[in-house]
Structure 1
Amino acid sequence: MYQAPLTFLKKRRTQYALGKNLPISKEQTSELIQEAIKHSPSAFNSQSSRAVILFGAESEKFWNFVKEALRKIVPAEDFSASEARINGFAAGAGTVLFYENQDVVKDLQEKFALYADNFPLWSEQSSGMAQLAVWTTLANVGIGASLQHYNPLIDAEVAAEWNIPASWKLRAQMPFGSNEQPFGEKDFMDDKERFKVFG
């Protein structure tokens, strides 16, 4: 019985084969994403995480920005693979852009100078927990997703397009949608190489 909560976490898997047929409405999906972030932990309850949720054409526009940015730096002979990967993300129903508000971090550094060096790190940890919370929440309603990091390559263009505050720092992108392929088996390294238990 004590294993039951882990079933939610175990459903979180990387899905690259995304479709646009969400099992719930856009409104419900957006609400779940927001609630997952709202209830994610943060140092000093700073609530530094921010998100931009893009659906449909807006999500496709984002991935087109990524594609064109990559086109400028990826050798032409290698671009087809990058293009196919990006098109796969764009094929989904939407994308979550995860941000961290740097004004919140700076304010905490000023208020709690003793911990000033730690707040940027704690902000990154908060973002990671928000990402996991969203990913797990989506997985448990049958929505597939993956986590991507094309920042800072497209930060300025994205900020201009969606009027993102200057204090928001892009940390990750999560394309999501219907699961269009089953998940394969997941391999795990030996527990003895990862864990030590005493007492």
Structure 2
Amino acid sequence: MSRSTLVIGDAIKNRGSRHLLSNDVEIPDERIQDIVRDAVLHSPTPFNCQSGRAVVLLKEEHKKFWDIAHDVAKASHAPPIFEKAFAPRIKMFRAAYGTILFYEDSNALKVAEGKMPIVKEKMPQWSEHATGMLQYAVWTMLTAEGLGANLQHYNPMVDSAVAKQWDIPEDGA
């Protein structure tokens, strides 16, 4: 087995949800951004359409995201449900260093569909596969750098507020 195979295998084995996240990060922000950029550029996508997108939110921008999640969840759920199911988790996630938002560029997918109309009906499924691989790649790469990570789904609850805050186009472009 080659050295690179062992390194990748170790990264995969060591990847796991870290629910006790910290904002004590020694890795430069630029390194975190490079990891995400590399994963976006090199993760497989249908017909290499490179449809994956990510927004990296660090420090205050990260906290702003979890403030939005808090406010939207509080407005969307009865107080007992919010206090028990959402408030403690949002507080825990807000205490971390960063958040990465993932989405698919629907325009890139449409271009790929246009090139291969015979598989158009499969593109949504393949897009889901691609975003899963992208998220897994980022998660594994961040863990290999010694960062804690976990995957949370607060969409579609926060989608419109987040799109407005960080100017994410409706079509994901």
Normalising by the residue count of structure 1, what TM-score does the alignment of the two structures yield?
0.80
Equivalent position to 2:73, from 70, 75, 84 = 70
Q: Larger radius of gyration, structure 1 or 2?
A: 1
Give deviations 1:56-108, integer Å, cap 9, x for gaps: 11111111111111112222123223111011111111100001001111222
Structure 2 counterpart of 1:152: 156
Q: How does 1:1-199 map to 2 (within 5 A)?
A: 1=1, 4=6, 5-81=8-84, 82-168=86-172
Give distance in 2, aligned partners of 1:134 and 1:98. 10
Query: Aligned pair count?
Result: 169
Give distance in 2, aligned partners of 1:144 and 1:55. 14
Deviation at 1:123, TM superposition (A): 0.9
Q: Percent identity?
A: 37
Deviation at 1:140, TM superposition (A): 0.5
Whether contact under 8 Å (2:18, 2:148) holds in the other structure is yes
- In structure 1, stretches of 5+ residues that fail to align are 170-199
Give deviations 1:176-195, integer Å, cap 9, x for gaps: xxxxxxxxxxxxxxxxxxxx
Higher strand proportion (structure 1 or 2)? 1
> 1:52 aligns to what SS in structure 2?
strand
> 1:66 aligns to what SS in structure 2?
helix
Normalising by the residue count of structure 2, what TM-score does the alignment of the two structures yield?
0.92
Whether contact under 8 Å (1:23, 1:143) holds in the other structure is no
CA RMSD after TM alignment: 1.5
Higher helix proportion (structure 1 or 2)? 2
> 2:55 aligns to what SS in structure 1?
strand
